[in-house]
Amino acid sequence: MVVSISPYAPASLWGRYFSAHYLLWQSKRDDVLKMTNTVFKKADGVVASDLGEEWALLDLESSMYFTLNTVAVEVWKSLEEQPSDIDVLVDAVVQKFDVTSDQCRDDVNSLLADLTEAGLIVAVTDKTNA
């Protein structure tokens, strides 16, 4: 369903319009992450460079560049080795850093959402497609 709104609508209506779209976007983003069989893989056309503790990522299509902090680098390394689900990625972090899987799961989830939104990784719902 497409909902249009007049440009002359009062500000309060515009506020509700944008809030509804934000909530819809957020729920879609969360839905992807909650899929238990979601596997993430590195997007095509993304190159990584080791800068020491941090890594730089360059999206060759958009020419946008990003950096990952030291913990995010471990997640990225795992994704470079093979498409992985959230459990594998959390394990990779837990093995290297002083944190439990329960403590870092939400953080890894949030990182995956950011990487997906930036187009650096793609979510594959069926593992056979990974």
Q: Which residues bind another protein (CB under 8 A)?
A: 58, 62-72, 74-75, 93, 96-99, 103-104, 107-108, 110-111, 114-115, 118, 120
Q: Shortest approach of another protein to residue 129 CB, angstroms?
A: 24
Residue recorded with tokens 């957020």: 26
Q: What's the farthest any 2 CA atoms get from each other in the chain?
A: 56
C-beta of 118 vs 124, nearer to another protein: 118
C-beta of 8 vs 98, nearer to another protein: 98
Alpha-carbon distance of 83 to 42, in angstroms, equals 7
Q: Shortest approach of another protein to residue 47 CB, angstroms?
A: 11
Q: Shortest approach of another protein to residue 81 CB, angstroms?
A: 17
Do you know the residue count of the chain? 130
Alpha-carbon distance of 24 to 70, in angstroms, equals 32
C-beta of 9 vs 51, nearer to another protein: 51
Q: Shortest approach of another protein to residue 57 CB, angstroms?
A: 8
Give the burial class of 72: count Cβ atoms within 10 A of its Cβ; 0-12 exposed, 13-18 middle, 19 or more buried: buried
Whether residue 73 contacts residue 52, with contact meaning beta carbons closer than 8 Å, is answered with: no
C-beta of 76 vs 83, nearer to another protein: 76
